[in-house]
Chain A
Amino acid sequence: MVLAQADAEGRALLRNGEQLLLTLIIPLLLLSMLSLEPIVNFGAGISRIDFMTPGIMALAVMSTAFTSQAIATGFERRYGVLKRLGATPLSRAQLITAKTLTIVVVELAQCLLIIAVALIIGWRPDASLSAIIVVPLLLLFGTAAFSGIALAMAGTLRAEATLAAANLVWIVLLGLGGVVFPLTKFPDGARHAFELLPTGALSTGLRDVLAHQVAFPVGNTVTLLVWAVAAVAVAARVFRWE
């Protein structure tokens, strides 16, 4: 049952051009364009592609787990799809599991594509061995945090409001989340604040591990974990199925 639902969720994603644009095409375009053209200047003795790849991975997670999921769920709720599914043998826990499974599969595909394109462009990760554990852990906490926020929004706001807010947050955090524009360029106070946002914590954490040989970015991991626990708890409390 979970697989059947995940299959349907996946097909819905593939059917939806805007979602693909958001989750795959824009991240890959940003990765290649900004790495090849010196639009943004990072200084600090790090190559553009080495800076960009972890940021784009964070962006991909935000696109899928937050923006794409919030919009899709908001409209499913509005069209009564979630209500109708509630009358089938599929339980709510199974529905959530199916959605999570779909997101994880999409994120795996995104990461593989991003890594492949990055390697072609010339990405040379400078990471310690712990990255094999720490990178998936950061992605997992980030996914949980974004999913929780997405569901809290989609489960309470009107579908149109969710659509607008999810896109707006995506754009703002694309700029202020350390994705393509280094947080080090901001004044110290702002930088620390932005690093406490899920996107900033995820991009900074991934970059520390993949470009600066940090074994375990404790602060960013804890930030993401706090967001994840809080957001999922809020979503579980406020989500309305119809």
Chain B
Amino acid sequence: MRTVAERGRRRLTCVSVPPAVEITGLVKRYGPVTAVDGLTMTAARGAVTAILGPNGAGKTTTIEVCEGYRAADAGTVRVLGMMPGSRELRPRVGVMLQSGGIPPAVPAGSYLTQLSRFHAHPLPVRQLLDMCGLGDAARTPFKRLSGGQQQRLSLAAAVIGRPELVFLDEPTAGLDPQARHATWALIGDLRGAGVSVILSTHYMEEAERLADHVVIIDHGTAVAEGTPAALTGSAGQLRFRAEAGLDIDGLIAALPPGSLAKESPAGHYVVEMAGGEVDPRLLASVTAWCAERGVLPSSLRIESRTLEDVFLELTGRDLRS
């Protein structure tokens, strides 16, 4: 027999809000290829979660399982606490595909009007067009929009139903920097409005800029996750410039044990503490070593590593390879 306390706890579990996305042990195979291999991750409500990884890491497959397009071979996926793609879920979730989805001949405004009629309380089309910088393009067919405008229309289509959660699959792939910044500003607005955002990207700058939480995936599994700051550290490396060809082995010998140093490119030096942060002792030993040789390090700074560095360290591969 269940006690009163147990029943009370059960009720509590029921009212607690499930996370935006909860993935446990997800496996997805295409024939002999395992695209996602036991991925476990959680995306919080009201936050931007970036799935970062190189091409072919399993980002799109993961997102498409969450969107309900593909069935998992193993593991569980819950979106807002529900089965992906279920009928009750679809009005609450917005989707931006990696490419396509919009008929080429349809004007931007007509397309949004069509989608708005599938929702009970859509955003006004006019307002959404203006918000996305498409105010002048309402009557322009999709195929005649610029790449940035096409991506923004696709983003507008994802949010027209005032979703609680949006999936953005590489929202800025192939865009020039200006168009990319415009899209980033829109994603920032979404977060400001309390919308949960899951985005996949292979641009580390995008993840660093936008995400509250980054999940780095490689070969279909999560290799690291955390806030961008936690992943990169606030003082991950020491950089300075000096004449090219300093004695790197001599420098390493003079540093505290576990230190790493390299010259890349010529005249640019990076010093790191393996698995740790730069500390005052490391800084002092670098400057002392330089002083002994009469070398003045210029542009000396202590800064966080990039997600690129983190990825390289975790996988031994370049993010863009």
Residues of A at the B interface (CB closer than 8 Å) are 1, 4-5, 7-8, 11-12, 15-16, 76, 79-81, 83-84, 86-91, 242
Specify the main secondary structure of chain B where it touches its partner.
loop
List the A residue with the shortest CB-CB distance to B93. Answer: A87
* Given known A-B contacts A79-B100, A79-B102, A89-B161, A5 and B114 have beta carbons under 8 A apart: yes
The interface stretch among B103-111, B217-225, B313-321 is B103-111
In whole angstroms, how far apart are the Cα atoms of A86 and B161 in the complex? 14
Which one of B95, B100, B114, B117 contacts A87 once the chains associate, using CB atoms below 8 Å?
A: B95
Of the A-B pairs whose beta carbons lie under 8 Å apart in the complex, a sample of 10, sorted by A's number, is A5-B118, A8-B110, A12-B103, A15-B105, A15-B106, A79-B103, A88-B90, A88-B161, A90-B118, A91-B87
Min CB distance A76 to B, Å, is 7
- The answer to whether B118 and A84 have CB atoms under 8 Å apart is no
In whole angstroms, how far apart are the Cα atoms of A7 and B91 in the complex? 20
* Apart from A11-B106, A79-B104, A89-B119, 13 more pairs, CB < 8 Å: A7-B114, A11-B110, A15-B105, A79-B100, A79-B102, A79-B103, A81-B102, A83-B100, A84-B95, A86-B69, A87-B69, A87-B90, A87-B95
Asked if B55 lies at the interface with its beta carbon under 8 angstroms from chain A, I say no
List the B residue with the shortest CB-CB distance to A76. Answer: B103
Asked if B68 lies at the interface with its beta carbon under 8 angstroms from chain A, I say yes
Min CB distance B90 to A, Å, is 5
- The answer to whether A84 and B100 have CB atoms under 8 Å apart is yes
* Residue numbers in B under 8 Å from A76 (CB-CB): 103
Name the interface residues of B79-116: CB closer than 8 Å to any CB of A.
85, 87, 90-91, 93, 95, 97, 99-106, 110, 114-115
List the B residue with the shortest CB-CB distance to A79. Answer: B100
- The answer to whether B103 and A87 have CB atoms under 8 Å apart is no
Which one of A4, A15, A83 contacts B97 once the chains associate, using CB atoms below 8 Å?
A: A83
* Residue numbers in B under 8 Å from A242 (CB-CB): 69
In whole angstroms, how far apart are the Cα atoms of A81 and B142 in the complex? 12
Min CB distance A84 to B, Å, is 3
Which one of B85, B95, B100, B117 contacts A1 once the chains associate, using CB atoms below 8 Å?
A: B117
Min CB distance B28 to A, Å, is 16
In whole angstroms, how far apart are the Cα atoms of A190 and B114 in the complex? 48
Min CB distance A242 to B, Å, is 8
* Given known A-B contacts A1-B118, A8-B114, A81 and B69 have beta carbons under 8 A apart: no
In whole angstroms, how far apart are the Cα atoms of A123 and B319 in the complex? 73
Residues of B at the A interface (CB closer than 8 Å) are 67-69, 85, 87, 90-91, 93, 95, 97, 99-106, 110, 114-115, 117-119, 157, 161
* Residue numbers in B under 8 Å from A7 (CB-CB): 114
List the A residue with the shortest CB-CB distance to B110. Answer: A11
Which one of B95, B102, B114 contacts A4 once the chains associate, using CB atoms below 8 Å?
A: B114
- The answer to whether A87 and B87 have CB atoms under 8 Å apart is no
- The answer to whether B118 and A16 have CB atoms under 8 Å apart is no
* Residue numbers in A under 8 Å from B101 (CB-CB): 79-81, 83-84
* Residue numbers in A under 8 Å from B90 (CB-CB): 87-89
List the A residue with the shortest CB-CB distance to B114. Answer: A8
* Residue numbers in A under 8 Å from B68 (CB-CB): 86-87
* Residue numbers in B under 8 Å from A84 (CB-CB): 95, 97, 100-102, 157
In whole angstroms, how far apart are the Cα atoms of A81 and B106 in the complex? 11
* Residue numbers in B under 8 Å from A15 (CB-CB): 105-106
- The answer to whether A12 and B105 have CB atoms under 8 Å apart is yes
List the B residue with the shortest CB-CB distance to A3. Answer: B117
List the B residue with the shortest CB-CB distance to A78. Answer: B100
In whole angstroms, how far apart are the Cα atoms of A80 and B157 in the complex? 14
* Residue numbers in A under 8 Å from B87 (CB-CB): 89, 91
